[in-house]
Structures are given as C-alpha cells and as structure tokens.
Amino acid sequence: MSAISDLSRPLAGGQPLTVDASLPRLSPVAHRALERAGLGTIRDKVVGGERLSYEDGLALYACNDLSAVGALANLVRERKHGDLTYFNRNIHVDPTNVCVAECIFCSFSRLKTGDPNAYLMQVDEVVGRVRDLRGKFLTEIHMVNGLNPDLPFSYYTDLLKALKVEQPDLHIKAFTAVEIHFFAEFYGMTYEEVLQQLMDAGLDSMPGGGAEIFHPRARKKLCKDKADADEWLAVHRLAHKMGMRTNCTMLFGSIERVEERVDHVIRLRELQDETGGFQTFIPLRFHNTNNRLRKIPEPTAGDTLRTFAVSRLMLDNMPHIKAYWPMLGIELAQLSLDFGVDDIDGTVLEERIYHMAGADTPQGLARADLISLIRRAGRIPVERDTLYHVAAEA
Ligand code: V47
C-alpha cells in the first residue's frame, strides 16, 4: 500500500480499499503450534475458508495456546485487510442518562429525572458541542441515550434535524436497538414507523449497543427489563431492510458463560447471512466500577484478546472487528491488532459510558495519536468514514 499522503485533508468520500487475499499465509511455526494445541482441524477449516461451528468456537475458548488462536485470527484479519487498520474522527454524545431500565452492569444511567447525576441536554446544547468542534473535521456523531420516559418523541427528531442544519455532512450514528424498541412501545408506534421518522429527520446508521448477551439465562440476569434478543435482532433486521448499515456488539466478561458468547456471535452471523447489513462487530469488555457487579473481576487481557480472536474466526461474514480503545486502553488496543482486530474506533471525543464505569483512558485522542498508535503496533492507519469509505490512505 502507498503511504498516507495528506492526513490533514477533510474526508473526500473514496472507495473501500481492497487487499490481495492470496498473500497471507500461516508460518510453519504457527501451523505446528496449532497442531500441537489440538486445533489442526479448525486450522484446516480456516485455511480452506470453511465456516466454524459452535463446537469449534468452544474449542477455541478452551485451547491453552492463546498465541496459536491469535495467529489463526490474524490470518483471517490479514486476508481481509492486510495491515490496514481503520479509525475515524468522531464525537460521542449521550444527551440523557435518565433510563427506566435497570441493567446491573451499567454505571451511566439514573432511574429518574431529578436523581443526583441525572441529566438531559437540550437540543441547542448538543448542537453547540458539534459547533465548538468544527475545526476538528468530525465526520461522525455517535449518540445514544437512556430510556427516558419524560421526553416527547419530537425531542429526538428535533435533535437530528438541528444537527443536520448545523453540519449537513456529519454522519449521525445514533440510537441502539434497545432505544428503538422503547420508542415503539412508549410512543405507540411500529419499529418501522420509528425508524422511518428518525431516518426522515437525519438518522444515517445505528450503533451496536444494547446487545449485551443474547442468551436468555445471562440476559435475564444482566438486563431483564429491556428489548430481548429477538427484539434486538428484529430492529437490526428491519434497519438493514430499510437501507441502513448498523454495528453489533457483545458485552463480555461479566456473568456470562463462554457457551453464551459463542451462541451470541452465531446469532449475529445468522442475521448477517440474511441481510449483510452489519459493518462491524465490537466486543465490549466488562468494567466493574460504579455498578452492581463491582465484585466481579474484569476480564484478563488474555481473555479479552481471545474473545477478539474467536469473534474474528467465528464471524466469517463480518467485514470488520473493532476494538473500542476507550474501553480497552491503548496497549491492549494495539495488541488486539494481532488478534483479529482491524479497527480501533475514532477520536471518540467526550466519552461518558466507560469513564463512569472506571475506564482510565484519555477523553479523546487526537488524530495524530491514533495514527501513531497504529503505526507503533506495526500496522497501516487508514482514516475512514462511518461507512468505511477511505478518507486518507496509508
Ligand atoms: O450497550 C455499558 C456497554 C454499550 C458497561 O456501534 C458496558 O460503533 C462494559 O455500544 N462494562 C454502549 N460494557 C457502547 C456501545 C458502543 C461503543 C462504541 C462503539 C459502538 C459502535 C458502540 O456499552 C452498552 C453496553 O453493552 N456497557 N456499561 C460496563 N460497565
């Protein structure tokens, strides 16, 4: 690939880069390590482009040799993307944290308007944030909310319209499937009516939050009073049908079992087979500060890297695997690039959800820092827009 030529230029709206998939090979050492680790059959399936089964997913989690699992995931990553590693210029805004759902892992929400630390941003305030950051050439706003029972639906459509007036070319990625489900129930609309009204007001795509763990055993414990797995998947299915791209996530490392992680990614793989509308999968590492799960230890670095790797291997139809650096820390995000990850999210100015749950990462990174952290990890930085069109190429 050629070198990034002009990193300061604003987004031009290019095409996705293509990579010669015939180039990457497993080294003979990795080949033998996989055989020794009991993953010979899985290795042959991956090398041959064959789909992995539920049992294969469990075997990858059970394997003692983490680096062998990583090498296999890296093969898939390099077949799809070579060394290219994507990032974008974005801001996270969470206009309200008032939320009627009581997810036991959440450190961000407050049950009622008026509770200490509950907040609601007025439309002008959200727009003002974007206006203040004009010089940063943001290409995306990522916006999610609590399930706030004290707002009219017009609050959300007014917000979208006002953001589009302020910056018409800013891509609005907003509202989780859980919020869409809540809007439909609370305001008495179908999913289709909710999505159509939001799209008409300016919604461009949807983030992947709210998926948590689909399996009913774990979901009942984690978040019993919000959209269930079928409802979450139904919203994304419909969003894809209506022409939107969406992301998907999995909250891992709290009370779920590895079987439930494998079940989760297979459900996503099935929907992706049906629609092809997911762009990226983001495994979200559990944080235990300021929530009801504080006694549960956070996942180890090894478990985190393995989860990225297994996700890359199981989700053969997912274009990208994203490591959300504010949640992981910079060193782990860099390491994840050798375990299947090809995207580290963006500048992420003003993140709240993970910082309230104890993340000690910086509040936003400059574009130059992202480029440097990717280069120092031995990969090639590529600035993208939300839909993975290339803004600047390395
Ligand atoms: O749905 C909340 C998770 C999600 C905790 O689509 C927690 O591009 C760990 O979905 N420990 C929201 N996880 C964030 C999210 C996201 C982030 C970045 C990019 C994208 C994208 C989506 O955060 C929630 C929940 O699964 N979460 N609290 C916690 N204590």
Q: Which domains are assigned to the chain?
A: 28-77 (no CATH), 85-393 (3.20.20.70)
User: Which residues' Cβ are closer than 6 Å to ligand 1?
Assistant: 105-107, 207-210, 212, 247, 249, 251, 282, 284, 286-287, 291, 324, 345, 353, 357
Query: What pLDDT was estimated at residue 2?
Result: 34
Q: In this model, does residue 123 exceed pLDDT 60?
A: yes
Q: What spacing in Å lies between the alpha carbon of 306 and ligand 1's midpoint?
A: 19
In the chain, the amino acid numbered 377 is A
pLDDT single digits (tens) 246-266: 999 999 999 999 999 999 999
Q: In this model, does residue 161 exceed pLDDT 90?
A: yes
Instruction: Find the mean pLDDT for residues 57-66.
Output: 97
- More reliable by pLDDT, 72 or 30: 72
CA dist., res. 87 & res. 298, Å (int):
26
Q: In this model, does residue 362 exceed pLDDT 90?
A: no
Query: What pLDDT was estimated at residue 151?
Result: 98
In the chain, the amino acid numbered 348 is V
Residues shown for the chain: 394
The ligand 1 atom at the shortest distance from the C-alpha of residue 291 is 30
Query: What pLDDT was estimated at residue 312?
Result: 98
What's the number of CA atoms in the CB half-sphere (13 Å) around residue 247? 30
Q: In this model, does residue 10 exceed pLDDT 70?
A: no
Q: What spacing in Å lies between the alpha carbon of 73 and ligand 1's midpoint?
A: 23
Query: What pLDDT was estimated at residue 7?
Result: 36
DSSP E strands, the chain: 84-88, 90-93, 140-143, 171-174, 205-206, 245-252, 278-285, 320-321, 343-346, 380-384, 390-392
Q: In this model, does residue 3 exceed pLDDT 50?
A: no
pLDDT single digits (tens) 347-357: 988 787 778 88
Percent of the chain with pLDDT over 90: 85
Q: In this model, does residue 366 exceed pLDDT 70?
A: yes
Its pTM stands at: 0.94
Q: What mean pLDDT, rounded, does the chain reach?
A: 93
Query: What pLDDT was estimated at residue 352?
Result: 79
pLDDT single digits (tens) 267-317: 999 999 999 999 999 999 999 998 999 999 999 999 999 999 999 999 999
Instruction: Find the mean pLDDT for residues 61-86.
Output: 96
DSSP letter for 375, please.
H
